[in-house]
Structure 1
Amino acid sequence: MGIFDKIKEKLSHEFIDIVEWLDYTDDTIAHRFERYQNEIKNGAKLIVREGQMAVFINEGQLADVFKPGTYDLTTQNLPILSTLKGWKYGFNSPFKAEVYFVNTTLFTDEKWGTKNPITLSDDRFGLVEIRAFGTYAFKIEDAGKFIIDIVGTDNNFTNFEINEHLKSLIATRFTDTVGEANLPIELYAANTSELSETCQEVMKPEFSSVGISLEKFYIENVSMPEELKKEIFEYSRLDKIDLDKLTRFKTAKAIEAAAHNEGGTAGAGMGMGMGFALAQQMGGMMSPQMGQQQQMPQQQQNQPAAMPPPMPQAVQYFYALNGAQSGPVSYEQLRSYFASRTINKDTLVWKAGMEGWKALSDVEELKGFLGGNTPPPLPM
């Protein structure tokens, strides 16, 4: 290259008369306009296209910000830069300033997710862990603040460079929000829309502090361990059905199964036990026939046969559920409700003979629910 070519090249770089940026990528957020020694010709044209903003930086300080349009770069169009430079009467020579073009279009379908499980406390299931993931959309709202606080001197700032920071911010604020929501664990997956809106409102100020606007935030899924899912499903079923009817149904099925097991002594014993329980419920129906059968042998005997004393009456309990009185139920039914978490140690209970309602954990014969598997002795 000859000496005249070098001079021509230098002059072509030195006297820039059009300042513009054509973005051929889909992930660039900020691009620094490059030219020889940062010099721009006096009276040069600045072209800012739709979806862009131009930011002028002078010696590390924010100077002027231009919205979409075409501008002649003079002291009239550079008021802040003119003040910083001390141009009182205009300028005729090229001036120095860093020019950044900022992409202000909407960046959509950005992914986020919790790297580690979030531990929550639930009244019924104790400590549980959940994970969540989804998408969000953002755009640059304050180009000057974004350049000063985030971009710095990076000549080509991409979406990838900001994403890690934003995803960490989202995960932190999401954890705080779900912790403060204090919802029953099964409702997190059923209320993703409401939870998404709440999280977006919480995160907006954090994004805005660096010149970014959080436009959309979606929670696509809230997941939990499989064993916890099964436990929640079982609990929901028990919460919807009548446990008394379920107990009678299972008793009848057990008797039917025992009747088919003719060769097994264990099955016969179970059938006798279940039959006795069922007989108590059907006593009203069968008592006339039983009475006729007992009268015949009594007429043939000279002395009345010795009869066993009547079975002691089972203790019946009342309990408080959702602010209403429920019951009465037997000891075993109350125990099954405790095992299925329908009631707990703080549930109020009462039986005949008690002065008032007491917490389940304060009733002596019910303390076995809390840690042991052995019921109290039968009343004498």
Structure 2
Amino acid sequence: MSFFKNQFANVVEWQEFREDMIFYKWSNHEIKKGSRLIIRPGQDAIFFNNGKIEGVFRDDGEYDIESQIIPFLSTLKGFKFGFNSGMRVEVLFVNTKEFVVKWGTQNAINIPAPGLPGGMPIRANGTFTFKVDDYIALIDQIAGVKDRYVVEDVKIRITSILDQLLMKWISKEGKDMFNLQSNSFDISKGIQEDLDMQMLKSGISITGFTVMSFSYPKEIQDMITKNASHGMVGNVDRYQQIELTDGMASGKMSGGGAASDMAGMMMGMNIANKMMNQMNQPTPSQTPQPPSQVAEGDGGQKRPNFCPNCGTKTGGTNFCSNCGQKLIS
């Protein structure tokens, strides 16, 4: 700790406050006797020296540093102001609110897909929220070398790894590449957990992450829209077969670009798989014929159709007409 005879400060406060500023470090001044600390709503004031936290003050208001602050500092409780001397410390003001940030992929991400060597080009956008969670980690990793930190700094860190995380969670568990919106909740949850682990080291917690929408190349989006609209009024499988056949016959698919070729290939594979499944299904079994009726004699006993003695057809009588053998025992 150093003491000087000039550059004394009467008021310790967050100067040049901005809504997008995460923290502001008050430094390069000495606190003299009679100085005041001003904490505004939504701010915490952290006194620290040589990277070590001396005290954290969370309630907004105006405080006398000598009587209301110094007695609560960890190692400076016994400090006494001299005639022309002051106390040199650093005060970190932290914005305690939750920040909301919009994000979007700058370039299309090629997501691996079966049958598509180059991958499916997809863009996405949404929002994420964060707040400062660990003051010790924040001072150790960021505030120790920076005087201020803004939302844009965090956004740059997030977007630098976001493409990899999108690829990871979209590709996981074989999600439907043409209906990613239905899986947006699971994708968002997985990305949030990964981002939180990354930023936690810097004292920042990712409190939310949302994928608002996915977008495809125009050719693919047109096909998805057609399938969706046709599904409301008819058989989608039949529609896909007709569209694919018409496209091949007219030659439209040959000049539609790589995205159109990929979509046609995947649509054709889907149709072929469905046709094979239908061919492999077992045919319905024949309706069983009713069992032939067997003549019964008196008392419910069965009568043979042929004489067991001579083989003559019985004709429904009780005795064989040829040899007289009794047919009912």
TM-score interval, normalised by the smaller of the two chains: 0.5 to 0.7
Between the aligned partners of 1:44 and 1:181, the Cα distance in structure 2 is: 61
For residue 157 of structure 1, report the CA deviation from its aligned partner. Answer: 2.9
Asked if residue 92 in structure 1 is aligned to residue 81 in structure 2, the reply is yes
The match for 1:46 is: 37
Structure-2 residue corresponding to 1:158 = 150
What is residue 103 of structure 1 aligned with on the other side? 95
Contact map agreement 1:114 1:133 (CA 8 A) in 2: yes
**Whole-angstrom distance in 1 between the partners of 2:166 and 2:192:** 9
**Counterpart in 1 of 2:272?**
343
Identical amino acids, percent of aligned pairs: 26
Indicate if the aligned counterparts of 1:118 and 1:130 stay in contact, CA closer than 8 A. yes
Shift of 1:124: 6.7
1:55-111 superposed Cα distances (whole Å, 9 cap, x missing partner): 2231244433322245544553111x43xxxx7x44334221111212222322x22
| Cα distance between partner residues in 2 of 1:124 and 1:190 | 22
* Counterpart position of 2:295: none
1:183 to 170, 175, 184: 175
Deviations 1:116-146 (A, max 9, x none): 3222233476731211122222222223422
- The match for 2:108 is 117
Aligned to 1:76: 71
Q: Deviations over 1:245-298 (max 9, x none)?
A: x88xx9xxxxxxxxxxxxxxxxxxxxxxxxxxxxxxxxxxxxxxxxxxxxxxxx
SS at match of 1:76: helix
Q: 1:129 is matched with which residue?
A: 121
SS at match of 2:194: helix
Q: Which residue of 1 aligns with 2:49?
A: 58
Which 5+ residue runs of structure 2 have no aligned equivalent?
A: 246-266, 283-329
In structure 2, C-alpha distance between the alignment counterparts of 1:214 and 1:350, rounded to whole Å: 50
- Given that 1:131 and 1:224 are in contact with CA atoms closer than 8 Å, whether structure 2 keeps it comes out as yes
Contact kept in structure 2, 1:40 and 1:95, CA below 8 Å: yes
**Greater RCO, 1 or 2 (C-alpha within 8 Å, sep 6+):** 2
Corresponding pairs, count: 243
Q: 1:216 to 1:173 in 2, by over 3 A?
A: same
Alignment-derived partner of residue 14 in structure 2: 21
Distance 2:72 2:121 in 1: 57
Structure with the bigger percentage of helix: 1
Give unmatched runs, 5+ long, in structure 1: 1-9, 251-337, 353-380
Pair 1:350–1:132, CA change in 2 (3 A): closer
**Inter-partner Cα distance in structure 2 for 1:60 and 1:339:** 63
| 1:291 alignment counterpart | none
Alpha-carbon separation, structure 2, partners of 1:147 and 1:214: 18
8 Å contact kept, 2:22–2:94: yes
TM-score (norm 1): 0.53
Supply the AA of the counterpart residue of 2:90. Answer: E
- In structure 2, the residue matched to 1:274 is none
Task: Give the match for residue 134 of structure 2.
Answer: 142
Cα drift, residue 165 of structure 1: 1.4
- Conserved 8 A contact 1:55-1:144: no
Provide the alpha-carbon RMSD of the alignment.
Answer: 3.8
| Counterpart amino acid of residue 65 in structure 1 | V
| Corresponding residue to 1:213 among 197, 205, 209 | 205
In the TM superposition, what is the alpha-carbon distance from 1:34 to its structure 2 partner?
Answer: 4.4
Name the CA shift for 1:241/1:217 in 2 (closer, same or farther; >3 Å). closer
Deviates more, 1:217-226 or 1:70-79: 70-79
Aligned to 2:310: none
Select the residue among 224, 227, 230 that pairs with 2:219: 227
Taking structure 1 as reference, are residues 92 and 11 closer, same or farther at Cα in structure 2, changes over 3 Å only? closer
How far does residue 222 in structure 1 lie from its aligned partner after superposition?
Answer: 0.7
Taking a change above 3 Å as real, the CA distance of residues 344 and 100 of structure 1, as seen in their structure-2 partners, is same
- Post-superposition CA distance 1:185-209 (Å, at most 9, x none): 1221344344334432332232322
Cα separation, partners in 2 of 1:39 and 1:351, compared to 1, 3 Å? closer
Tell me the amino acid that sits aligned with residue 27 of structure 1.
D
CA-CA distance at 1:230 after TM superposition: 4.0
